[in-house]
Amino acid sequence: MTTGTMRVQALLAAAALMAIGCGPTASSSSTAGAADAKAFLDTVNATMLKLGIAGSQAGWVQQTYITDDTEALSARANQESADATARFAKEAPKFDKSDVPADQRRELTLLKVSLVMAPPADPKESEELSKIMARLESAYGKGKWCPDAAKPEQCKNIDGITRLLAESRNEKEIRAAWEGWHTIAPPMRKDYARFVELSNKGARELGFADTGAMWRAKYDMPPDDFTKELDRLWGQVRPLYLKLHAYVRMKLHAKYGDAVPANGPLPAHLLGNIWAQDWTNIYPLIAPANADPGFSLTDILKKRRAPPVEMVRTGERFYTSLGFAPLPKTFWERSLFVRPKDRDVVCHASAWDIDLAEDLRIKMCIEQTAEDFTTIHHELGHNFYQRAYKDLPTLFRDSANDGFHEAIGDTIALSVTPEYLVKIGMLDKAPDASRDVGLLMNRALEKIAFLTFGLLIDQWRWNVFSGATPVASYNKAWWDLRLKYQGVAPPAPRGEELFDPGAKYHVPDNTPYTRYFLAHILQFQFHRALSKMAGCAGPLHRCSIFQSTEAGQRLNAMLSMGQSRPWQDALEALTGSKQMDATAILDYFAPLSTWLDEQLKGTQVGW
Ligand SMILES: [Zn+2]
């Protein structure tokens, strides 16, 4: 559910591997004039657009027609963009003292904070860093657990591990797979420590305290204030999380006995997901009685034999009902909706804006399931966002901050309520409110459970980058945070010879993660604000903004700002407030929260 590779930010984020030319120390001492800044930004915007289009075209063909040649073409195009971005980012400080108009100042600032990893100026170190990154990525990509060395056919990659943890109810089997997957990580430990040293050096050359501070600088507020802001948001949701945690623990204790303590932390391996970041797979074990909603969207779609293109048309109609223009003809001609029979493709769902303007597409291998129906609405959210900001300078063609892009489609997906399904003729009658606890529990296992994980990955990395967590306590710090936020513990003590953070893709791949936490907070805040505009007076989880042009206009006001203003202004354009607010989550889950209070009477929450 990523946005298609070539949004500008993605381009910028991909940048980094080679140190080129003009180091920041050399350039920051001289001050260039305002006219030079304008010329520089014109070049940057034009170059990024040109390289971005080339990269998207190559990337699209590579993902929908995988061959050695298309992979090589795509890698080459990406490298070219990455090199250009790194070069531009390092040139930007040249204009730090120039007197330029506000919008140009913002473009320069965005350029400076655009790198996810800053290569050090020393070419030897830069090359070492790039080799380490490639090694870390491939160590993860090739990661496999082989329960029996004599039987290679039993080896499991991450897909196999994921399936086993989702389906198995055998504690011994689950534990073996969980421990098995974590064996891919210890070889990454030394490389990761060196990666931290080198990338920090590059970040310091750009004027940041360390790589973590560079990441936090993207959020239009001082890095330390941003950290505090995340803590504040988490504090708002924590009481609800504690209840969910205690209820799940009670049910799992009943199922697994002493493998799940009656009062302590939850075992990290028994939550249906290798990272315990999404608990929906254990829903059958904890399902509330009499809370079956009485219908299955998957069954409905299958019974109707709904063609994938029709499912996408239905998604599009949601957006046009809000007042957005229909998707262009080329969207229907060029998108990929079904898995081709004759060739390999990357089926992971994504949304693309090939020309950073009108050439929108999605790439999905759609099946007739409720999950894919939701994902369609999610991906189209990216497309409508992309088109809304298409007239801005290239550097502004992105979401207000990186949490916003993922939040939009999810916001719309929250409007896919039973009442909405009735309205579009897919369901005869919406279930009554007595069934809400089941629907809400399912959603809480996905969204509330995720928040803690979404928060802690970067908490760990920021401390690692700043040196607050030394190499000697990498693993301890990881499990301290997992205990603190998630309230989970490993099935047995984990020593420093291990490297458990490395078993999560985004760590060896070096992708920042806080955006997913933000997206989970923002989507509920957006949904509450839009529902109000749509005049929904019922409970928030039953509100759908379908057919509300008032909500559509406000949504578009925010989307069309792209990244041209601080995210606080974009947030205000939609919600009327400059502050993120997690209380919408509490409103949304209020009936579940009340129900949990009943179930937990006399039970201790927390760990
Ligand atoms: Zn997405």
Give pLDDT tens digits for 291-309.
Answer: 888 888 999 999 999 899 9
Distance 368 CA to ligand 1 centre (A): 19
Distance 607 CA to ligand 1 centre (A): 33
pLDDT given at position 15 = 34
504 beta partners? none
Distance 350 CA to ligand 1 centre (A): 7
Lowest mean pLDDT among 41-55, 111-125, 351-365: 111-125
| Structure-token pair, residue 104 | 């140009």
Distance 521 CA to ligand 1 centre (A): 15
For 400, residues 6+ apart whose C-beta sits below 8 A from its C-beta are: 558, 561, 562, 563, 565, 566, 567, 569, 570, 571
Distance 353 CA to ligand 1 centre (A): 13
Q: How far apart are CA 416 and CA 373, in angstroms?
A: 9
Distance 377 CA to ligand 1 centre (A): 10
Distance 2 CA to ligand 1 centre (A): 4
Instruction: List pLDDT tens digits, range 506-544.
Output: 999 999 999 999 999 999 999 999 999 999 999 999 999
Taking residues 371-386, report their average pLDDT.
95
Distance 378 CA to ligand 1 centre (A): 6
Q: How far apart are CA 488 and CA 271, in angstroms?
A: 10
Distance 175 CA to ligand 1 centre (A): 31
pLDDT at 53 over 90: yes
DSSP 8-state code for residue 353: E
Q: Is 284 left (phi over 0), alpha (psi -120 to 50) or beta?
A: alpha
Distance 1 CA to ligand 1 centre (A): 4
Distance 595 CA to ligand 1 centre (A): 32
Q: How far apart are CA 413 and CA 408, in angstroms?
A: 9
Distance 407 CA to ligand 1 centre (A): 8
End-to-end CA distance of the chain: 33
Q: Is 564 helix (H, G, I), strand (E, B) or coil?
A: coil
Would you give the distance in Å from CA 452 to the centre of its chain? 14
| Structure-token pair, residue 165 | 């943890």
Distance 410 CA to ligand 1 centre (A): 8
CB atoms within 10 A of CB 537: 7
Distance 399 CA to ligand 1 centre (A): 12
Highest mean pLDDT among 67-81, 337-351, 465-479: 465-479
Position 38, amino acid: K
Angle at 214 (CA atoms; ends 213, 215), nearest 5 degrees? 90
pLDDT at 423 over 60: yes
pLDDT given at position 26 = 36
Compute the Cα dihedral for 4, 10, 16, 18 and give only its sign: positive
* Contact in structure between 450 and 520 (CB atoms under 8 Å): yes
pLDDT range class, residue 31, cuts 50, 70, 90: low
DSSP 8-state code for residue 287: P
Q: Which residue in 420, 313, 460 sits closest to 376, CA to CA?
A: 313
Distance 440 CA to ligand 1 centre (A): 22
pLDDT at 458 over 90: yes
Percent of the chain having pLDDT more than 90?
79
Q: How far apart are CA 328 and CA 323, in angstroms?
A: 15
pLDDT range class, residue 141, cuts 50, 70, 90: confident
Distance 558 CA to ligand 1 centre (A): 18
Q: What is the 3-state secondary structure (H, E, C) of 316-342?
A: HHHHHHCCCCCCCHHHHHHCECCCCCC
Q: Report the C-alpha dihedral over residues 438, 442, 445, 448, rounded to 10 degrees.
A: -90
Distance 512 CA to ligand 1 centre (A): 15
pLDDT given at position 22 = 34
pLDDT range class, residue 211, cuts 50, 70, 90: very high
pLDDT range class, residue 71, cuts 50, 70, 90: confident
pLDDT given at position 133 = 87
Distance 4 CA to ligand 1 centre (A): 9
Distance 414 CA to ligand 1 centre (A): 14
Instruction: List pLDDT tens digits, range 435-447.
Output: 899 999 999 999 9
Distance 164 CA to ligand 1 centre (A): 25
Distance 406 CA to ligand 1 centre (A): 5
pLDDT given at position 27 = 39
* Contact in structure between 548 and 322 (CB atoms under 8 Å): yes
For the chain, the maximum distance between any two Cα atoms, rounded to a whole number of angstroms, is 71
353 beta partners? 360
pLDDT given at position 4 = 39
pLDDT given at position 76 = 87
Q: Would you say the pTM of this structure is higher than 0.85?
A: yes
* Contact in structure between 434 and 88 (CB atoms under 8 Å): no
For 487, residues 6+ apart whose C-beta sits below 8 A from its C-beta are: 242, 245, 265, 266, 452, 606, 607
Taking residues 61-75, report their average pLDDT.
89
Highest mean pLDDT among 61-65, 121-125, 126-130, 243-247: 243-247
Instruction: List pLDDT tens digits, range 574-606.
Output: 999 999 999 999 999 999 999 999 999 999 999
pLDDT at 25 over 60: no
The residue to which tokens 């609405």 are assigned: 377
Distance 490 CA to ligand 1 centre (A): 30
Distance 62 CA to ligand 1 centre (A): 20
pLDDT given at position 344 = 83
Taking residues 345-370, report their average pLDDT.
92
| Structure-token pair, residue 44 | 């940057």
Taking residues 267-284, report their average pLDDT.
96
pLDDT at 140 over 60: yes
Distance 351 CA to ligand 1 centre (A): 7
DSSP helix, strand, coil percent of the chain (3-state; round to 5) = 65, 5, 35
Distance 290 CA to ligand 1 centre (A): 33
Distance 382 CA to ligand 1 centre (A): 7
- 172 versus 291: which is more confidently predicted? 172
Burial class (CB in 10 A: 0-12, 13-18, 19+), 602: exposed
Q: What is the CA radius of gyration of the chain?
A: 24
Q: How far apart are CA 349 and CA 602, in angstroms?
A: 44
The residue to which tokens 């499991």 are assigned: 156
Taking residues 346-370, report their average pLDDT.
93
pLDDT given at position 78 = 82
Q: How far apart are CA 539 and CA 417, in angstroms?
A: 12
pLDDT given at position 347 = 84
Residue 148: C-alpha distances to residues 181, 211, 269, 506 (Å): 14, 40, 21, 28
Helices (H), 92-222: 102-112, 123-141, 158-167, 171-181, 189-205, 211-216
| Structure-token pair, residue 77 | 């195009």
Distance 337 CA to ligand 1 centre (A): 16
pLDDT given at position 21 = 31
Distance 37 CA to ligand 1 centre (A): 34
Distance 408 CA to ligand 1 centre (A): 9
Distance 300 CA to ligand 1 centre (A): 25
Distance 361 CA to ligand 1 centre (A): 13
pLDDT given at position 207 = 87
pLDDT range class, residue 485, cuts 50, 70, 90: very high
Mean pLDDT rounded to a whole number for the chain: 91
Distance 297 CA to ligand 1 centre (A): 22
Q: How far apart are CA 184 and CA 496, in angstroms?
A: 15
Residues composing the chain: 607
pLDDT at 13 over 90: no
Buried b / exposed e along 395-424 (16+ C-beta atoms within 10 A): bbbbbbbbbbbbbbbbbbbbbbbbbbbeee
pLDDT at 23 over 90: no
Distance 3 CA to ligand 1 centre (A): 5
The residue to which tokens 């219908």 are assigned: 295
CB atoms within 10 A of CB 223: 18
Distance 523 CA to ligand 1 centre (A): 12
pLDDT at 1 over 60: no
